[in-house]
Amino acid sequence: MSVTSTAGYFARRAAQRERVRILYRRALKDKLNWAVHRHIFYQDASELRERFDANKHVEDPDTIDRLIADGEASYNKWRHPDPYIVPWAPGGSKFTRNPIPPSGIEIVYNYGREDND
Amino acid sequence: MALRAAILRHVRVPIQTLTLTGPKPQVRGPNGGSLRFLSSHGDDHLTKGEVIDRVLSVVKSFPKVDPSKVDPDVHFQKDLGLDSLDNVEIVMALEEEFKLEIPDKEADKIDSCLLAIEYIYNHPMAG
């Protein structure tokens, strides 16, 4: 069965590539959540990269879909319960902690100096 | 005791040579008092030169990249010959460098140094 090179095929492959990239990004961040010590993270990251590279040359879109679904299932299984989120981002510790006051309000530190001093 | 005092006099930095560094602008309010802006973060806006330098240093220290080819307008996959997964790794390294949190859809689009520098420079929380 020859692979028909229609626009639909290429669109499907492009969508699969985007799913793979997003999955790789999330899996890498998850590895960083689990392995805080940097040398352990580097080992985990290279092992993850090898797992992705082993399936790099698969051509059949259905197999690729199945592999991506397997990858997402294992990512969901291994997600960290308490991920590190950058403090100012939603979910982080500093999110909406000190909202910027409305403009026009300012504290003038003149240390009690009166106008006619 | 006198020897100790002499040594300490050499080691201790005299007060008038201590200088305060830091870009804290001395803005004066209408009454002559000094204004302080009330936000606790997001004040330290990076200059474009700093952003470019840090982005280039991150890209150069990537092990699969040849440091001599790195320019501010280099494309990761076309010019440096990287993979799309390498692209993802570089974007993650930039996120760690600037303490940013880039959403997945935006991070997918960052393909070249130019886009990265523009995105980071226009991000309000780039640290």
Q: Which of A44, A76, A58, A43 is nearest to A3 (CA)?
A: A58
User: How many Cα atoms sit within 13 Å of B69 on the Cβ side?
Assistant: 13
Query: In this complex, do B101 and A85 lie within 8 Å of one another by their Cβ atoms?
Result: yes
DSSP, collapsed to helix, strand or coil, labels residue B77 as coil
Q: In the beta sheet, which residues pair with residue B112? A: B75
Residue B82 covered by a domain: yes
Exactly one of B43, B66, B73, B83 is catalytic; which is it?
A: B83
B77 in contact with chain A, both atoms CB, cutoff 8 A: no
CATH number at residue B104: 1.10.1200.10
For A68, counting Cβ atoms within 10 Å of its Cβ (0-12 exposed, 13-18 middle, 19+ buried), the class is: middle
Residue B15 covered by a domain: no
Query: In this complex, do B35 and A106 lie within 8 Å of one another by their Cβ atoms?
Result: yes
What tens digit of pLDDT does each residue of B78-117 get? 888 888 999 999 999 999 999 998 999 999 999 989 999 9
Q: Is B83 a residue of the active site?
A: yes
Query: In this complex, do A101 and B29 lie within 8 Å of one another by their Cβ atoms?
Result: no
Residue B71 covered by a domain: yes
Residues with pLDDT less than 70, chain A? 1-5, 117
Residue B92 covered by a domain: yes
Q: How far apart are CA A29 and CA B95, in angstroms?
A: 11
Residue B22 covered by a domain: no
Which ipTM value was assigned to this complex? 0.78
Query: In this complex, do A86 and B38 lie within 8 Å of one another by their Cβ atoms?
Result: no
Show the domain range for B70. 48-121
Q: How far apart are CA B104 and CA B91, in angstroms?
A: 10
Locate the chain B residue with the closest alpha carbon to A107.
B35
Query: Which of A31, A86, A107 to mutate: most B Cβ within 10 Å?
Result: A86
Residue B76 covered by a domain: yes
Conformational region of residue A61, where left means phi above 0, alpha means psi within -120 to 50, and beta covers everything else: alpha
Which pLDDT score is estimated for B18? 45
Query: How many domains does chain B divide into?
Result: 1
In the predicted model, is pLDDT for residue B25 greater than 70? no
Residue B108 covered by a domain: yes
What tens digit of pLDDT does each residue of B38-87 get? 455 555 678 889 899 999 999 999 888 888 888 888 898 888 888 899 99
Measured in whole angstroms, how far is the alpha carbon of residue A48 from the centre of its chain?
Answer: 15
pTM for this prediction: 0.73
Closest CB to B33: pick one of A17, A92, A109. Answer: A109
B39 in contact with chain A, both atoms CB, cutoff 8 A: yes
Residue B24 covered by a domain: no
